[in-house]
Structure 1
Amino acid sequence: MCRGQARGHREPYCWFTSGIVAEPAPNEESPLNISGVERRIVEAEAAVVRRIFDLCAGGIGYSRIAKQLNAEGAVSP
Structure 2
Amino acid sequence: MWMAYALLKELEGGRRKTSELRQSTPLYGTAFDWAVTGLLSMGLAKRVIEGGEEYLEMTDAGRSWLSTGPWPWAQWGYGWGPRHGRCW
Same fold (TM over 0.5): no
Q: Which has the higher helix share?
A: 2
Q: Which structure would you say has the larger RCO, counting Cα contacts within 8 Å and 6 or more residues apart?
A: 2
The TM-score, its normalising length taken from structure 2, stands at 0.26
